[in-house]
Structure 1
Amino acid sequence: MRILFASIGTAGDVLPLIGVARDVATLGHEVAMVLTPEMRPIAHRAGIACFSLLSECLPSRPPAAMFHAQKAPFAIWDLLVPRLPDMAVRGADAIREFTPDLVGTHCFALGMRWACERLEVPTVNIVLSPQAFFHPRDRTIYIPETTTPPPCPALQVRMVRKLLAWRTDRRLNEVRDHLGMATRREVFFRETTTGPCLALWSACFRPALDGDPGRTCGFDWYDDDDVEGPPDPGLDRFLEQGRPPVIATFGTSAAQFPPDHVGDLIRAARHIGRRVLLVMPNVPSFDANDVHHVRSAPYGLLLHRGCLTIHHGGIGTTARAMRSGRPMIVIPHLFDQFDNAHRVRALGV
């Protein structure tokens, strides 16, 4: 078979689909990716042919609202919707050139799904965290900055569906109309919960439930060794010099992580006699032998070398922190991170 995979977002949204594509290729299928321009080099490093999902890169510094827990679920549509027509055109071009038998899409790659719909190409939805299932019996957290699921999950799901439709249906249907496609109700909900679906998390993290819209396949462990450039030569030296450090990383949320909070983390680690490894793009300068900073590093090769992982609760980081066998502290900021934090707390890890 010829299978095309499409994703949009940060490395955390892209790497799992690259991992799936690599695994599918080992089974003898022909694969290719459709990614935003800034993410295409990651696919190329993985040895996968890649088409452009958009004409231009996504903003390197998203709007501030994207880093606000309450505003982000709505701000993401301001970022995404204007790009959907271009995504549909680019996606159609990739389909015509690669002629896939099947297309696997990230839930936010709506323009790609609509290109498949127009060209009558079968699709499979690929979701990364349990929140995307909208399951009426799953105790899921959807309300930002809450730590406990509501007592009636079915009522919450109905409310979330209605709110999502109220905020997005008109805009999404305007794009569908522009593309000559029929309008729908609850557009995003139906795109993510109808048709074949693969869930890239472990049954240990969230067991399969009757009525799930997809099959639980397990976490994907693909790591790109060069997401942000070559490794820091001092990293191994720092890790080998003393006791395992506290490792702190906050994904894309790190861009908005207050500098004084970094100082708080370092002081807390020193209080228990531990060094600190900061894995984040930009932090204040710390002139100290017990603190080391790298912009990025493959979590799969790193987290087991620490004594504790402090992170933001992104699904990929959460999975790797669990796999490392080290305890973790989760400081959620956005989207599914609050639900992921609740689940690891319930697991006792």
Structure 2
Amino acid sequence: MRVLLTTWGSRGDVEPLVGLAVELRKFGAEALVCAPPDEEFVNLLERAGVPLIPLGPTVHSVVAGPKPPTGEDALKLAPSLVAARFETLSAAAEEGCDAILATGLLPAGARDVAEKLGIPYVYACFHIFGLPSRRFAPGIRPGTPSPEGETDNRVLWRQDAERVDALYGGALNEHRVAIGLPPVENVRDHVFTGTPWLAADEVLCPSAGMTDLDIVQTGAWIQPDDRALPAELEKFLESGEPPVYVGFGSMAAYAPKDIARVAIESARALGRRILLARGWAGLTSIDDAGDCFVVGEVNQQALFRRVAAVVHHGGAGTTTTASRAGVPQVVVPRIADQPYWAERVAELGIGVAHQDPAPTGESLTAALAAALSPETGARAKAVADTIRTDGATVAAKLLLDTVSVPSRPPA
């Protein structure tokens, strides 16, 4: 049995598929991952022994410029990714694939390839923020904005669907017609299906009653990481009290201005050492003092258990890893689902939400002081014990069950 897993997005969109692919392999199935060919992702898949099929441009080439991508950039990227999925997924899936599971940046084209081949299709997401809901409004998307003052969530989500159609509809339907399929009218709902899978922990991301869709919540897809920490990092960790970790992952141009300086000064104001994760934003120390250490890509699962607090952007993966480690968090959200994760961290009492995207020394020091309180630390440890780690196993079994039943169009 062979399953094709596909995504286009940051590491937080790729790594869960690696965890799922490894679990599928344990059940005797072959899993291929079709993802952007960034070097970081190539290395991630190679370590797990999972085949990578390159899809589209590297994410770094799109998001790591001096300024964040514009709406015009999105209007160019969307149809190019649709074309890439039809070409790349078709070629991969024709080699005897039994199902396609898609996630990441709206994967228009994946369901259509599955439909043409007559195999099951599953859409999966890592948070509920992008799913239509009467309880919250949609996030910002390139295109014609909703009228100022509109508050009806049903209207706002209908307008969101119109923006998706403007981004993807022309290219999607052009390719569908070319392979003998009829056009679709609502691209977003076509991609999501009526039964999307939610690969997020129920404690961190409760889904009951949050959308009108029939969500299948599996839990987070976690790929266990047993790599040792670099020797120099070990030496730094052992040379003093646990440091404050500061990292903004793949944010690149989205990272707060001067965040390294602000974070270092805030940690020092509280008498704490600092561990900076370089990431795509290129964070680096502001001086040669021995209380600051800069790391590249490392085993966060091991590292977070040895730090005093984690200051981060609020990606689903980083939030889950920090929560599992039982370490207090300060979340400084920037885009997309990140404000949601910041709110959940605050609601659970396991950290602080710094919703202002431009922290100052004073504001970050206050947030960090609150996160480092004994009460927050105790709560973080308590919540860590409630987070499940078997989400990838649950999803692998469900996916194999989906393949074992007669193929039918997704709901």
Q: Same fold by TM-score, threshold 0.5 exceeded?
A: yes
1:180-329 paired onto structure 2 within 5 Å: 180=177, 181-192=181-192, 194-210=193-209, 211-222=212-223, 232-258=230-256, 260-281=258-279, 282-285=282-285, 286-329=287-330
Query: For the Cα contact (< 8 Å) 2:108–2:172, is it kept in 1?
Result: no
Offset, 1:41: 4.0
Unmatched tracts of structure 1, length 5 or more: 145-153
Query: For the Cα contact (< 8 Å) 2:124–2:199, is it kept in 1?
Result: yes
1: distance between equivalents of 2:64 and 2:267?
A: 32
Amino acid at match of 2:332: I
Amino acid at match of 1:261: I
Query: For the Cα contact (< 8 Å) 2:277–2:295, is it kept in 1?
Result: yes
2: distance between equivalents of 1:261 and 1:41?
A: 28
2: distance between equivalents of 1:35 and 1:325?
A: 31
Percent sequence identity over aligned pairs: 28
Bigger mean CA offset, 3-12 vs 36-45: 36-45
1:102-251 paired onto structure 2 within 5 Å: 102-107=99-104, 108-137=106-135, 139=136, 142=139, 155-162=152-159, 164-179=160-175, 180=177, 181-192=181-192, 194-210=193-209, 211-222=212-223, 232-251=230-249
Q: Which one has a bigger Cα radius of gyration?
A: 2
Query: For the Cα contact (< 8 Å) 1:103–1:123, is it kept in 2?
Result: yes
Bigger mean CA offset, 123-132 vs 100-109: 100-109
2: distance between equivalents of 1:33 and 1:297?
A: 22
Amino acid at match of 1:215: V
Amino acid at match of 1:197: P
Amino acid at match of 1:322: S
Unmatched tracts of structure 2, length 5 or more: 142-150, 351-411
2: distance between equivalents of 1:232 and 1:77?
A: 42
Bigger mean CA offset, 325-334 vs 33-42: 33-42
Amino acid at match of 1:129: H
Offset, 1:224: 6.2
Offset, 1:252: 1.1
Offset, 1:267: 1.0
- After superposition, the Cα gap between the structure-2 partners of 1:172 and 1:182, relative to the gap in structure 1 and judged at 3 Å, is farther
2: distance between equivalents of 1:283 and 1:171?
A: 33
**Paired residue secondary structure (1:283):** coil
2: distance between equivalents of 1:176 and 1:218?
A: 31
**For the aligned residues, what is the CA RMSD?**
2.8
- After superposition, the Cα gap between the structure-2 partners of 1:328 and 1:58, relative to the gap in structure 1 and judged at 3 Å, is closer
- After superposition, the Cα gap between the structure-2 partners of 1:43 and 1:91, relative to the gap in structure 1 and judged at 3 Å, is same
Query: For the Cα contact (< 8 Å) 2:275–2:292, is it kept in 1?
Result: yes
1: distance between equivalents of 2:188 and 2:67?
A: 19
2: distance between equivalents of 1:122 and 1:19?
A: 20
Residue 43 (str. 1) matches residue 45 (str. 2):
yes
Bigger mean CA offset, 279-288 vs 328-337: 279-288
Output one character per residue of 1:75-106: Cα deviation in whole Å (capped at 9) or x when no partner: 54542322311221111000112x12111111
Counterpart for residue 148 of structure 1 = none
**Normalised TM-score (structure 2):** 0.73
Amino acid at match of 1:209: A
Number of aligned positions between the proteins = 330
Offset, 1:42: 2.5
Amino acid at match of 1:207: P
Amino acid at match of 2:270: I
